[in-house]
Amino acid sequence: MTDWQRTDITAGAVRIATFSYGDTTDSNRPAVVLVHGWPDTHHLWDRIAPQLAEHYRVFAYDTRGFGESDRPTDVPSYALPGLAEDLFAVIDAVTDGGSAHVVAHDWGSVQTWEAVTTPDAEKRIKSFTSVSGPNLDFLSEWARAQLASPTPGNIGRALSQVASSAYTGFFQIPGVSDAFFRAFGSEKVWTEFLHTIEGTPRENVSFAPTLREDMISGLKLYRANIRGKLARPEPRPTKVPVLEVVNDRDIALRPAIFDLTHTHAEKLWRKSGTSGHWLPYTNPDYLAETAREFIDFVENGTSSAPNTIDRARQLGKPLALTGKLAVITGAGSGIGRETAYALAALGCEVVLADINVASAEETATECKAKGVLTNVYELDVSKVAAVDEFAETVRARHGVPDIVINNAGIALAGSALAATDEQLDRLFDINVRGVISGSRAFARQMVARGTGGHIVNLSSAAAFTPSRDLGLYSASKAAVLMFSESLRAELAEHRIGVSAICPGIVHTNITSTTQFAGAADEDATRAKIDGFYEKRNYTPDRVARQIVDAVVSNKAVVPVTPEAEFGYRVYRFFPWASRIAARQKLNG
């Protein structure tokens, strides 16, 4: 376990065991107080404290009823106002009456919310990083809002949270829940529970010898607060800067319950990822870096590179992808441009890459108008070294992306026999190697970060619709499809989704630049095909909507247009029919 230095303070009649880590003598360094939840102690922070201690004076404490602090036997002693006073008492003690930044998890976050909504809290709490712990007054307000407007969506969100919180009803039953944890509250059982439910590395968990006792006494938190807060909410505002770290796979708390925080927090930021409830155990490096960046931002008014805090600022109700970073190649036109617009409209910061910088800048203008951070880079995806350099630049300047859209591509039609080697190399360098390079470079970053992500690769209906006039193009897109399916399997354990998007006949500028190998009059053939696509009038914005849906829903293969959906099923169930149709010439 981490080498903590213990001192005791008194909060009212309760003795609170308080701990420091590292050198805390330099008063010029900001103070950070770490607050644990149920059933943990200050050892929750064993892997985070050393990282924060490189920059700050770090303190933690065992909240009342846990670890080495006093354990009142009566339930009312665990009411939130008293717990908030404990936090203020700790801050006063470790800062000599000054102020501190607070990072809190689970019930530690719940009680810190009580503190930061206390009048003048901003004089003692400089910032609050909240992890997996809501303000119970805000939660009650949110639940009432869902019931007041019983649409299917609202009812679904409410029922989802009820299901996630069902265990709290069991915790309310004295005797029964106590007996359960006496029987099953061992360190071994709890370690295996976290490993099974969230994939938490066994070596990351740090429990106090009092774990079983902490589990039982900590049940008083539930009994003292939940029913009263849900029945009689009193939401109060806060001026303290707050960063909500929202975990999409939290088994206890659904992300939707945080939707009303912005109505009470004047200065609010939000970061989300595919982590679970016990983020301090499962991915301590990510949480330490996130907290450090936010604390530095509050201290200095600016964020160090990579700047992930600016995009996390929440000015209103969170959008579907608020705070996410998306990278789009081929963003200067067509599907890439429309996808950039769609992601920006949902709150994503966007990084736009294209071989034609001027066209990408045009896309950026509209994205910026939607109020999101936008940056443009020149990129030739056919160059592996250039893709790797681009990925590293994005990581260094903007952070690891949450969404990557490998969209850049070209078309080549006509006879496979007539195509030149130069045409063949260019087609596969862009369509296949470009997709693979982008996927590999950014997937490595996502895996290292450990909070999931999503990669979208643009394939085509041609991948499963053989054609005598599109053999080479079909081969390139079939490679993208199979690579995406295989990569999806490889990255599943890292919570990184991969989607292959397979549009059919979509009118973009790719048709006007398509080369037709072996055509007697290439310009006339191109004009005829482009005219047909224009009359078909399936616009790229409709594909962009499907891409966003694939990201949100983590879909594997998405045939987009009606003909793509038809062709996908024909090829799967009646391949002989596809082979017969493939003999038809593209231009009649």
**What is the DSSP annotation of 489-514?**
HHHGGGTEEEEEEE--S--STTTTT-
Q: What CA dihedral angle connects 258, 260, 264 and 266, to 10 degrees?
A: 80
Nearest by Cα to 354 from 369, 342, 372, 339: 339
What is the Cα–Cα distance from 447 to 439, expressed in whole angstroms? 12
d(CA 6, CA 19): 4
Q: Which of 421, 502, 510 is nearest to 465 (CA)?
A: 502
Backbone angles phi, psi at 31, to 5 degrees: -95, 140
The two structure tokens encoding residue 35: 């607050």
Cα angle 366, 400, 348 (rounded to 5 degrees) comes to 30
Dist CA 37 CA 47 (whole Å): 16
The residue behind tokens 């950070």 is 32
* Count of all residues that appear for the chain in the document: 588
From the candidates 473, 533, 538, 568, which is the catalytic residue? 473
Q: Is 538 a catalytic residue?
A: no
DSSP string, 296-307: HHHHHSS-PSS-
- 8-state DSSP, 266: S
DSSP reduced 3-state for 400: coil
Residue 557 sits at φ, ψ, to 5 deg, of: -125, 130
Q: Are 238 and 121 in contact (CB under 8 A)?
A: yes
- Can you tell me the distance from the alpha carbon of 230 to that of 221, in angstroms, rounded to the nearest whole number? 14
- CA 454, 455, 459 angle in degrees (round to 5)? 145
Nearest 5°: phi and psi at 414?
Answer: 100, -165
Helix (H) or strand (E) holding 141: helix 136-148
Token pair listed for 230 = 């849900």
What CA–CA distances, in Å, run from 460 to 146, 173, 501, 561? 41, 57, 7, 10
The catalytic residue positions are 473
